[in-house]
Structure 1
Amino acid sequence: MKTLRIIGARCGERYVRDGFFVAAPIPGEACTTLDIGDGYLHPGLVETHIHLDKACILERCQLQAGTLAEAIAQTRLAKAGFTEQDVYQRGAAVLEQAIVQGTMHMRTHVELDPQIGLIGFNAIRRLQADYAWAITLELCVFPQEGLLDNPGTEALLCAALEQGAEVLGGCPYMDRDPAAQIRRLFELAVHYDRDLDLHLDFDLDPAGMTVPEVIRCTEIHGWGGRVTIGHVTKLSALPLAHLREIGQALAVAGVQVTCLPSTDLFLTGRDQFHNKPRGLAPLEQLHKCGVTCSISTNNLGNPFTPYGDASLVRQANLFANVSQLGTEVQLQRCLDWVSNESARLLRLTDYGLEPGCRADFLVFEAPTPGAVVARISAPLMGFKAGRQTFERRLPQICRPD
């Protein structure tokens, strides 16, 4: 493969060979040149939390109350009709949307329970292999329907982990004893040497918060940097002083936080009409405490989130808007929460634009990183391991003669 030379007004000169950024071309070697002009060069986006297996099923569900309980119940009914090919086709449709929106790394949560068995897991494993040319897919298997109160689920989780699932997930609020599920998941994670990613504290009542138990277990097992908690909307209901205490404890323990704006805004706060709460994990304050954070999509086209186009930039913009973040520094941080910080959360060791990093990169038409988020700029083109995976042409105004 020839060396690719990237030139642009903002990026200077960069070189790609054998799928990685290199410091310089081989002397005397002819290079292929990519001139991005005034474009902004950025590493590929990183989706840390999505559910491919239950995407695009809204037409199979009855959406009335719009609550979390209804979403779980309606998805359970729809799941009874899932086949491996059905999951594959719906997942592929979302992956292709994500690819053209610039996502190049993705952690997808996959439900396992006695009803669905390994159907979803087997389908997503096929997608993992078939789309590896454009996106690196990581599977997080988890018990959406409960673990301790749902016999047979743990055996399925263990089977999937033994077959190569990279991450173990959890949903503690689905068991009568959430703390017991958390403790058991940590035991399994240590046994199988897997990172943990938990759906946690998903309402706006600060009572019954399980974050402290996750922090405690992380410290006991030495799992710092390997534990992520998603949703944690209870944190948005805390006074600032209490939030800072928890944020500092999360940072010290090495527990990371993912906010899921579309889903969390759609499902929470439905019991209030006036002064409706925003209900998003307060990433800006958590970041100031030293917590690694990310923004992610969660669901598309199902009772948890009826809409979406798999654009992480749109999710970053939504979070910035609701959280009232508007400076260049704040908007750039929102972009980091779907790229650089998300890569840290997934422990990607070869992420970035420097020599030695994998050549997964995008070109945006934007003057600054913050402008990418402010304008919801779609990437113009993307390259995975130095190979172009998509291109989007700019629209043209058709003026009258």
Structure 2
Amino acid sequence: MLDLVLRNARIAGRGAATFDIAVAGGRIADIAPSIAADAPSENLDGRLVTPGFVDTHIHLDKSCILDRCHAEHGTLQEAIAQVAAAKRAFTEDDVYERGRRTLEKAIVQGTTHMRTHVEVDPRIGLKSFQAIKRLKRDYAWAIDLEICVFPQEGLLNDPGTEALLIEACKSGAGLIGGCPYTDSDPHGQIARIFSIAREFDLDIDFHLDFDLDASWMDIEEVCRQAGAHGYGGRVAVGHVTKLSALPPKRLDAVAQRLAASGVAVTVLPATDLFLMGRDHDHAVPRGVAPAHRLAEHGVTCSLSTNNVLNPFTPFGDCSLVRMANLYANVAQAGSSRELAACFDLVTQQPARLMNLSDYGVAVGNPADLIVLDGTDPAMIVAELAAPLMGIKRGRRSFSRPAAVFNRPQ
């Protein structure tokens, strides 16, 4: 018994042909040129159906706090300080409500899987973590939410933080992260995060190498630790803006090291553009790591949102199509092949980063799908095509009508 049939759908990777996609019991039951069934159906008129977008790096807990902060210089250090001051007044309900607003934006923009980073330290305790756990439960009908706890203000130099991280790991955190550049001993923090991850069998996601001084990088130590602990495929690093400052041969060498060690990279275009290069008064560097170039070397990469409406990024609508388009502009990736690769950086590649084994438009997979107002992945990015409908485990999660012209008679 079918629950829904999407008719006349294009599917990424299958050319210009159209297919019917049958859904039953929350999964894709059949894909064929034509499916005879009396089930409810939706004629998509050749629009693209894709598995939902995957956001591997966002901060729900500190989103929507612009009205509480007074950033004047736009630097990373100022953003950390402003949020550190603001979060002392956070309550669990406050974090939940702001996180809800941001999560709902992401859902209607077509995101069906998300990894949110949540700060844990003696100032905030586990309040944000508990709030995001509630969001994960309450919005499971629309999105799969993975929680990464991490120490934004340091670990070894912040007494009490490690005990709270361990408590969160015992209480349902999906993985653990780190922020070595805020610690007095960056390599010591990296080692300790790997140790905790191994104790609880958790994956790792670091904020890393977040400046433009390429004379030194922590990424080599992360790759070394990943190899030493057999953690290939279980470690990601975010930002790595230093990679934007590398000449081609050195970038190639780092990419080969990342690919060999199985360390993935998440690039955060909006935040990295906004914060980097603040000490330049002309010829300002972009500061955005070349994700599509790394991917050509076999590195698993993603493009993600990071912050929304706070001092790290004072804008954002949680659209990963917009993020892919922004990245394509900055990276000067304009060919059809490059634009299609940018689409992969918000779909297939981040799904691989999060080890989503049943992701994709294929029979037997969960019916986690979105319908886009376009026909081709490259042009979806180029034209900022809007998601028109979302389906999560076979149930419609959101819908909005396509624009209609009201022409005069």
The counterpart of 1:44, out of the listed 15, 37, 52, is 52
Q: Residues 376-387 of structure 1: matches in 2 within 5 Å?
A: 376-387=384-395
The 8 Å contact of residues 3 and 30 in structure 1, kept in 2 or not, is answered as no
Q: Shift in Å at residue 177 of structure 1?
A: 1.1
1:40 and 1:2 map into 2 onto residues whose CA distance is 21
Q: Which structure 1 residue ranges, 5 or more long, are not aligned?
A: none
In the other structure, the counterpart of 1:115 is: 123
Q: Which amino acid aligns with 1:22?
A: A
1:66 to 68, 71, 74: 74
Q: Distance in 2 between matches of 1:92 and 1:23?
A: 34
CA deviation after TM superposition for structure 1 residue 205, in Å: 0.6
1:4 aligns with 2:11: no
Name the aligned partner's letter for residue 6 of structure 2: I
Q: Using the alignment, how far apart are the partners of 1:33 and 1:395 within structure 2?
A: 21
Q: Are the equivalent residues in 1 in contact too, given 2:47–2:372 (CA < 8 A)?
A: yes
The C-alpha deviation readout for 1:304-348, integer Å capped at 9, x for no partner, is 000000101000000000000011111111111111111000000
Counterpart among 341, 345, 369 of residue 333 in structure 1: 341
Matches within 5 A, 1:124-139: 124-139=132-147
**One-letter code aligned to 1:380:** L
Structure 2 partner of 1:242: 250
**Displacement of 1:278 after TM fit?**
1.1
**Which residue matches 1:284?**
292
Tell me the distance in 1 between the aligned counterparts of 2:157 and 2:377: 46
For 1:194-205, list aligned pairs within 5 A: 194-205=202-213
Give the whole-Å Cα distance in 1 for the aligned partners of 2:147 and 2:105: 18
What are the ranges of 5 or more consecutive residues in structure 2 without an aligned counterpart? Answer: 11-17
Letter in 2 for 1:141: V
Deviates more, 1:134-143 or 1:390-399: 390-399
Q: What TM-score do you get using the length of structure 2 for normalisation?
A: 0.95
d(CA) in 1 for partners of 2:405, 2:37: 41
Tell me how far apart the structure 2 counterparts of residues 220 and 203 of structure 1 sit (CA, whole Å). 26
Is the alpha carbon distance of 1:176 and 1:32 closer, same or farther for their aligned partners in structure 2, counting shifts above 3 Å?
Answer: same
Runs of 4+ in 1 over 6 A off after TM superposition: none
Q: 1:331 to 1:268 in 2, by over 3 A?
A: same
CA shift, 1:129, in A, is 0.3
Contact 1:38 1:365 in 2 (8 A): no
Give the residue type in structure 1 aligned to 2:26: G
Partner of 1:22: 29
1:288, 1:347 → 2: CA distance?
Answer: 19
> Which of residues 167, 170, 183 is equivalent to 2:175?
167
Q: 1:189-338 counterparts in 2 under 5 A?
A: 189-338=197-346
* Superposed displacement of residue 376, structure 1: 0.8
Q: How many residue pairs were aligned?
A: 400
Residue 62 of structure 2 aligns to a residue in which SS? Answer: coil
2:160 pairs with 1:147: no
Residues 348-367 of structure 1 mapped to structure 2, 5 A cutoff: 348-367=356-375
8 Å CA contact retained: 1:316, 1:337: yes
